[in-house]
Every structure is written in structure tokens, then in C-alpha cells.
Chains A and B, each alone.
Chain A
Amino acid sequence: MDFSQIFMVMAATIAMTFFLGRYRALKLGQATGGRKSLNSLPTYYGSLMAMWCGIPCFILLALWMMFDDVIISQAIMQELPQAVLELPTNERGLIFNMISNTAENGARAGAEPYMVAAAERLQSLRETSQLTLIACLASLFLVIMLVVWAKMSAKTRARSQVEKGFKWLLLICASIAIFTTAGIVFSVLFESIRFFQSVPLTEFLFGLEWSPQMAIRSDQVGGSGAFGAVPLFAGTLLISAIAMVIAVPAGLMAAIYLSEYARPAVRSAVKPLLEVLAGIPTVVYGFFAALTVAPFIRDTGGLIGLSVSSESALAAGLVMGIMIIPFVSSLSDDVINAVPQSLRDGAYGLGATRSETIKQVVIPAALPGIVGGILLAVSRAIGETMIVVMAAGLAANLTANPLESVTTVTVQIVTLLVGDQEFNSPKTLSAFALGLMLFTITLVLNYVALLVVKKYREQYE
């Protein structure tokens, strides 16, 4: 039996208590003169019972799952020979892994005797722990059930208690957003602080060289990599700028045409088609950029005598721009539609043509919203990962030439963290520092964008 099975059995048992509670309520009702004498509907009594039995049992199970492995491994570790205990932490971890492998798959030939003994001990501890858990759960469940059964009366305010529980459940679900943000901030922040202990913040922010290769041994000379993030940010900005040069005019003009000129039939046909572009996964764009657009640009550049890198910033930026077109266009569409018709009518009444109305009345009125939308699009471009991982390079060049290969923050995070890695080396930790920067930048951009949009909204409502 493992945890998932225990969980299933427990969930089923607790579901049964619902019927038990309802039955109890009906009995109580019969004793005191029919269902009408009950405070709440019988189903509420059932839910109440399930709630009271369920919550403590689930909490116990969750706590057990969290701490059981830690306690058992501590117990095993203490019994290992002195020589093993003196090893550094990561080697001890390795030995523990071997022990737990032995416990699960049986002893391999040539395993050291102390390991086999520890494995047997581990196995027996695990079994004991599980039996204890089942016993604890069962007794807790029985005690609570009997107490609730005994205390339940026709006057129990079952409905109000269940509704209170329901409200708390909803509140917890809503708070997950807070926990997620906190989780992001802490996970990124802690690792970043550890990173900044070995690499100074100023070097990271202002250093012009990025080569995160680290020494294999700690006493190796000259093996400390360079962690200057400026080339990464420059590369990110270059690619994002190319993307915006494509996406902003195309997206904005498409939105203007669709909302001001196009007939309803055209609009309802073209708009979903453009939005298909937004629904295509980024990995598909990455494939398209790396295998079609980049070779095309390289070959075209070769024809007119330009040397274009096969992982040029231009290819990645171009495809990213295509991806962002629908994003810009749907955001601008919303704000353009929110401009009151009376403003347009006023301009027409003064004899302005349609394009003059749009350029001199509608766009200025919608400008804050459009700017907000563009800022959101920039934050999308900066955080975009797959296109650049597949189509942009790995070399951290500090250049403004779109035909050369550059790398971005997201590319580096992916290359540093994919595959096996040690949690402690600055190389791995630097990815979290980059993540912190990325998170901060997108947060600021979103905040500014929302501020701009909010200001606009107040003008007409």
C-alpha cells in the first residue's frame, strides 16, 4: 500500500460518512417529530459529518507524507558507520540513494554489508511507519466520528457550519494565487541571494562578459566563470525590439482596419483567423524560425553579399513579432472600440475624412490604452522562451547587429538548468538570478501598463 492507495481508501470512507450523517439526522428527526423539526436539511448533516471527519484526517496524512521520509532517513543516517557520517553532504546523499535503491530492488552483488543492513532497516522502518499511519488515521477517524455522532442533535446548526466551511474552502482556493507569487519570489530570491554571495551584484548587473563555465574542482585555478549579464539583456532587448518593429505597426493597423473599416462579415472572418496565430504553441514558432526563416534569411543575405549568422537575431525577432501581432491587435481593438462614437461623429461633422478622424481623434483618445497594450506585448517578448531557445544562439555577443547571433536571458536560464545539475554551483544559481531579473522586469512592465490603462479608463466612464 502506498500513499495514493491510503488516500483513495480514506476518501471513500469519508464519502461514506456523508450517508452516515444523513441517516443520523433522519433518525433524530423521527425521534423529535419529523424532518421539519431539524434545524437544517438532512444533507447538511451529512456534509457536516464528512467535513469534520475529513479535514483532520487529510491534515494528518499530509503532515505524515511531508515528514515521514525526513525522519526515517535521519534515523538510518545515524546508524551508519562513523566513516560514512564524516563524508560531505552530497556524498552522504549518494550513499543514502544507494541504500534506498537496495531496499527497493534487492541487494546487488558486491554491496557493502553495512548498506544491506541499512537497507533492511529502511524497509522495516518504512513498513512500520505505514502501519502506524494507518492505525493513527483509523483511530482519529473513529474518535471524531463517534464524537460527532454523539453531539449531533436536531438543534445542531448544520447548514451554517457547512456554509462557513465552504466559504473557508473558497478563500483557501483564492489564496493560492498569493502562495504562488510568494513561492516564485522566495524560490527565485533565495537562490539569487546565494548566487550573489559568490558573485557581486555589481558584476552581475554591469559586467560585459558572460561565460558561466565553472571549475570542476573547487581548488582549480582560473576556473571562475564570468557572470556579467549585460550581453544577455542587450540580446533580449535586440530581439524584442525587432519583434516590436514587426508586431506594433502590423497589429495596430490590423486592429484599426478591422474596427473602423471592415464590414462585419469580414471582421468576423478575419479576426478569428488572426487569433489562430496567438494559439499556436511557441515551440512551433521556434521550429519555424530555426528551420525555415533562419536559413531563408541566411541565404537571402548571402545573395546580396551580407554575412548572416545562421542563428541571427533577425530570424528569432521576426518570428516573435509574428507571434505577437494578434496580441497587439486584440488589445488595441478593445481600446479602439471603447472610444465613444460621439467623438467620431463630431470629427465627421467637421468634415474630416475617416483616416483623419482615426489619426487625429480616435488614436489620441485611445493612446494610453494602446501604449499599455504595447508594454504588455514587450513583456511578453522579453519572457518568451521557446522561439529564442530554438532560433537564437548561445554565444553572449554584445552587438546591435541583427544579423549576428545573440543570446537572451531565457535562453541562458534554459541552457543552465536543463539536464542534471548541482544545486549549489554558481552556474546553476545564476539561472535563478536571471529569473529574478526577468520576473522583476516583467512585473514592472505590467504594473506600468496597468497604470497607464487605468488612467485612460477614467476618461470616459
Chain B
Amino acid sequence: MTGVAERSASILDQPEYRVEGRDKVTGAARYAADVVMPGMLQAAYVTSPYAHARIVSIDVSAARALPGVRAVITGADTKPGRLGRRLQDWPILCWDRVLFIGDRVAAIAADTAAIADEAARLVEVEYEELPAVLDADAALAAGAPVLHPDAANYAFLGGTRAQRSHPNVQGQALHEHGDVEAGFRTSHKVYEHTFTLPRTHQAYIEPRATLVWLDGETVRVVTTNKAPFALRQHMSVALGVPEPRIVVDAGHIGGDFGGKGLSIDEFVLYHLARATGRPVRALTRYADDLQATNTRHAATITLRTGVDAEGRILAHTSRVLFDGGAYAAGKPVITLMPGDAMLTLAGYRVPAARVEATTVYTNQVPAGHARAPGQPQNAFAAESHIDLIARDLAIDPLEFRERNIVRHGDVDVTGKPWHGTDGPALLARLRTASRYGPSLARPNQVNWWGWGVALGVRHVGRGRASMVLRTLAGGRVELRTGVSDQGGGAHTLFQRIVAAELSIPLDRVAVSRGTTDAVLSDPGVGGSRVTPVQGSAALDAARKLNAKLAELGRSIDDASEIEVTGEAAQETHEASTYAYALRVTIDRETGSLKIDDATLVADVGKVINPVALRGQLEGGFIFGLGQAVMEELRVEDGRVVTANLGDYKLPTIADAPPLRIELITDHPGPGPFGAKSVGELANPAVGAAVANAVQDACGARVMSLPVTAEKIWAELPK
């Protein structure tokens, strides 16, 4: 067997070359907005200008009379249809009340987009404005308007919705372990800090695009959604169409970052396609994508932590309040909160904790999942909090983390024993690789440059997946998968895994993606799942093929028409840790900051796709940096005011500072050959690393993201 292992290893040492690379660099790669159908119509929507209002009347007669208009539908036509990933609370079109600026009240299908837009302007809607709930605290006030009085009638997919303490709660949870009160009682000092986080947008460069048509009894969907089987289920429940009659085609997706798990167009396009008998397409304008879909949750986070005289954490409580916006439809998890809502002091030994998180309804843009949901908020709060405690105790912030980082078997904030990354080894690597300078060696001295450290934790993805592997002539094989390509390199990963396991050259493994009627069910791209779960299904398929060949006494070169099904059910609870050390310089006149140098140490397990892995970590850093220093989906009176990429700032190439990446690969994960996940590993902790470096440099402590020059300047010690 040594020979096989060696051959496998040498295949994984070969340069990585994206299987879809040629298509992507020649313009041949087909994205949803590139697909056209004969007779295709274009959709436009009539949307609410009010954050909260009752629809008194809708007059569509002028719109219907416009030449080129093929259908105008309203909530009366789609009632009581609602959409959503777990809780279906978002009306396909509103019929009685609108709950945010941008909520849809009518839809048009017309020969051209210009005619559809003109028709939308001709729809007359009379509203009666209602009191709006514009922040999360107001939502929980006694006597607050109840935004979803009919919640008991909403479909809840897979399970039962938990009881709620207030009708405006979307979801809530409480976790407690250890003796929290005793921990605080015996603490040397107890610290409490409150942090605020803004809404941000995933800001994929490809706005949503959707095309729906009826093919006899079959509903055909071309979409930017990254979880086609889940979308099929959501549509089936919301539209009353059996799943086998819905076929979803999700090919290349132009960036996701969590946002494209929620679809909002497919449902109304189905109604328009039925009304017209023709294919109908919706190409979302970027401005509408920024204003109307699935942002990262704004949050207010209060952390309270007690430590002993040596700075060891004894007890921790937290209260996290997320603004979920008008609908909970974007959240797939059963608690209806961002996935990691409860991870408020991740990565540390926490003997006793009480963690309380709540997501509420407001009359704001609905919030949903965004790269490492809940973590950028909680990591910013926790890692700022840790730094503030360390500085108050006059302990170097990196040393404080070394004293508290979770070790094997320690209980962390979840109350479970830790079996993930070797924390001390990670921080030792960070100290060496970054050439970290002990900042407290220069007390009471403002140097205008300084160091910031922050760490983060992300679970290795879990779930089930399956795919089919079959032999072709000439010793070739084909893997058939339902995994769409959102840029992570999944198909190349599968190719390398299968080739390595079968000990055949990479170019003898073809990976093809199929629509939902043509491949086995797949959970979609997300949740740090592709490498550990779908990758394990690819590995299982290759192993089964090897076993089948052995059983038949055949070699792959003379095998034909052998087909096996690879399956994975990955339930291991494991997490990876990563840490940053940043060095920044602050301009003393303006407060603007420059990152001179960044070091990222990440526990990644076995590397299968070296180029893609590096790209995910580099891209995750810059994604996190954008949210750390510039990104904010600003909302005024319920209206998004950063509604284009000129106002919603994203990092450019000129914003990318020198970045050094060090990998920890000797702690195998549950994925293929010991791989872990990296897609959501690097972005959450950047905000706190920046804020901590800023304080180290100039004494200014910024308690909210983004850390802008204005905020730094305002906080400079006078």
C-alpha cells in the first residue's frame, strides 16, 4: 500500500490547474445572466417607498395598457405565498402590509427591461403609513408594533420553531455552563464592554440573475442561487409544486459569500411565467441588490468577563442583539439566528459562561447569511474586549491570549471540551512569524504605530453529500456532482481527490455538474462544508471504485460501465483557529490608518488545492479588511443610502497590504486526507486586529466597525 500512498502524494504535489480555468479566462464560462431563451420577457418590480405601511389599493390598469407589457401581478395573485430558507415569512409579493423600503408589491413581465421599468412606474399604489420599528431595542419594547401577527401560519421547514419571549423576536437562544455567579464572585476584576456592528453586504460583483420558464409540467430555473436542491425545496413548499417538477440549474456563480443561499426572484418569476406562458428573467440592478437583500446583521454586543489576578478568565456572560430586518427568510439555521450567534468568546478557556443571543424583526432590509455568519460581529467584540482587559491589567495582549487560549480538553465558551487547533502552538507561530514587538514595553508613549492581535475560530463544515463516479473508456472516470461553482475551486478539489485516491493522472478525472434532475441531492456550497463534506463524498466514491475494481479483478484501464455512489455524512464537531498580528501606522493629523504589515497563521490541516487555499485565505483577509475599515451599509430612516459601489466602499488592489501567511498542517481535520475548511476561516477577526492595533498605536479605542479615520480621530486621547 505504500506505493499507492506515494503515488497519491505525488498527484497532490502536482500544480493545481482549475478545471474551469480556461472557460473563466476566455469569457466562455456561462453565468446565470448570460442565459437567454427564445421569447424571453424581462421582469421589473414595484417596491415600497415606506418602511412600514398598509397597502390601501393598487391600480395596475395603466401599466397593463402599456404596449409590450405581458403581465402585471400583485400580492392578490401570489397570496398567501411566502418564501424563505427555514421560516417562510417573506411574501412573494405583499398584499396587506409592506415591512421595509424595497418590499415588493407588484411585478411586471414585459418585452424589454425598459418597458417593464416604465410599467412599474405606472402602477399606482396607495399606502397608509404605519409606525416603523427602526432599531432592535425598539422592536422589543412593550407596545412595539407587532410586525408579523400571522407568524403561526408560516411554513417552517424541517423542525419546529422555538417559543419566543416577544412577538418581534425572530429567534433566540440561551446557553449556560459552569457556575457563572461564583466565577464572577471570585474574580479579581470584572470587565464589561458594549460594541456595535453595522449592516454590511456580501458585495459579490455579480448581482442576482434569475430565469424561469415552464416546460410542460416542469418548472425550469436558471439562477445565481448556490444551493440548488435547497432552492428546489423552498420553491416546492412556497409554490405548491412537487419537487420533481422543479429543475434548478445553478452553474458558475459570480461570488456568493453567503448571500446567494437566499433567493427572492424565482418565486415571483414562476407566477409571471405562468401568467404569460413565456420565459421570464429578472436581472437585479446592483443598487437593488444592495438595498433589498440579505445583509449581514447589524448587532449590539455586550460582553462581561471576570478574570483572576493573573488574567485568567473565570466567568463570562454575553448579550447579543441582532437586527434581523423585516424577514427571517434568509437564515437557514433552526434557531433563526446567524449561524455563530452564540460564539462570543471563541477560542478561549471559559470555565463558566452564560450566552444569550436574540435576533429581532425591524422595518429594515432583511438580514441573512454572510461569510461566517455571526462571527465578524462576535469576533470583533470578543477580541476587542480581550485586548481591553489585557491592557487594563498591564499584560501584553498576545501574552494574555497565550494564558487563556483553549488547550486540548479545556472547556470553551460552548461548554464542550476542545479538540481543535493546538492554541499555544498557533500563537507561538504567530509571535515568531510576525516578529511581534511587545507593545507595553513603551508605556504612556504614543508612537503612532502599533501592533494588533486577534484570533478567530471556525467550525469545520458538517452535513451529508453524495455524488456518482463512473468509469469511461481509456482509463478515464467522470464524477457527477450537484455542487455549483461559486469560486472556491470545488470541482478542482474533487478532481485532485479522486485522482489521488485512484492513483491516476489528473487529466483522466472529469468533473461535471448537473441540474437537480440529473444528479444526486447536494446540500450546496456553504457552511465551510465543501472540502470536508462534499470532498469526503468524492473520496468515498473513489474508494468504492477501487474496491469494486479489486472485487472484479480489473484495472481502471480496462474497466467500463462501472458506477459507484460516493457518500459522506460528516458529523464530527471540530474547529480550526487562526490568528492575525497586524502592524499599523496612524496619521496623527487625520486619524487615517495604514496597515504596514499583516501576518496570518491558520490551522488548515492537509492542503489539497494549494492555490485555491491560499486564495481563500488572502481573499478572506481582504474581505475582512473591507468590513474592518470601510464597509457599512448605511441606513437612514429605513432607507439604504449607500446604494451603489461608489458609496458602499470595497477594498481595491491599492488597499491590500503586505500579507504573510503561515499554515499549520500537522493537525489533521475530518476532511479528505485530513483536510479542514478555509473559506470562512480568515475574515472575521480582521476588524478587532485593526482596532487593537489602532489603540496600541495612538491610544484611540474604537468600539464599532468600521474603524474609520473619523472615529480614530474622535477617540484620540486629548
A binds B: no
